[in-house]
Amino acid sequence: MKTIAIASDHAAYGFKTMIIEHLTAKGVKCKDFGAAKGVTVSDYPDFALPVAKAVAKGDHNYGILICGTGIGMSIAANKVKGIRAALCGDTFSAKATREHNNSNILCLGERVISQKLALEIVDIFLNTEFSNEERHIRRISKIEK
Ligand code: RB5
C-alpha cells in the first residue's frame, strides 16, 4: 500500500484537507505533517523539510507539498538529498515528471490551480510509474552526484 507524507502552509490548508479526504477515500494512507487547522501564519520550509526528509529516508512512498504557489515548497524540498520535487500545474507535467524524473514529491499551488485540477494532478502523479529508461536513469544520476 502506498503511503503519502503531506503538508501545507497556512495558504493551502484547504487543498491539503481536500487531498487527504480524496486519497483516504481511495484507501491511500496519508501522514499529515501540518500546518494545523486555524493557523494563520506559517513558514513553508517548516513543513517542506520534514516531509522531504521522511520521503528521502523511505518512510513514505511519495510526498505532497502545497503552499500558495507551490514554489516555496518545491525550492525547500529540493534542498534535501534524494528528493526530486516537481511543481505541477497541469496533468501532462504530472505524468511526465513521474515517467522522466522519477519525482518523489508533488508540489501544488492552491492560489494557482482549481480544486478539480489539483485532484486530477494528484491522481496522475501517484498512479504513474517511472519509465526506467536508461536515458532517464542517466540524467537523474547526474543530479544525485
Ligand atoms: C504565503 O503567503 C506564500 O508566500 C506561500 O504560501 C508560498 O506561495 C510561497 O512560495
CA 40 to chain CA centroid, Å, is: 22
Alpha-carbon distance of 15 to 21, in angstroms, equals 10
Of the residues 40, 42, 43, 67, which should be mutated to test ligand 1's pocket, given the most ligand atoms within 8 Å of the CB?
67
- Cβ count near 101 (within 10 Å): 18
Q: Specify which residues 4 forms β-bridges with.
A: 30, 62
Centre of ligand 1 from the C-alpha of residue 68, in Å:
5
Query: What is the pLDDT at residue 48?
Result: 98
Q: What mean pLDDT do residues 71-95 have?
A: 98
Q: Is 30 a catalytic residue?
A: no
At residue 76, does pLDDT exceed 80?
A: yes
Grid coordinates representing 134 are: 536508461
Rounded to two decimals, what is the model's pTM?
0.98
5: exposed, middle or buried (C-beta count within 10 Å: 0-12, 13-18, 19+)?
Answer: buried
Query: Counting atoms of ligand 1 from 1, which one is nearest the CA of 71?
Result: 10
Cell of 79: 534542498
- Minimal-distance CA residue to ligand 1 atom 5: 68
* pLDDT grade for 13, boundaries at 50, 70 and 90: very high
Q: Which triple of cell numbers denotes residue 24? A: 483516504
Q: What is the pLDDT of residues 15-64, one digit of tens each?
A: 999 999 999 999 999 999 999 999 999 999 999 999 999 999 999 999 99
Give the Cα-Cα-Cα angle 99, 5, 52 (nearest 5 degrees): 75
What number does the ligand 1 atom closest to the CA of 12 have?
Answer: 6
C-alpha 139 to ligand 1 mean position (Å)? 30
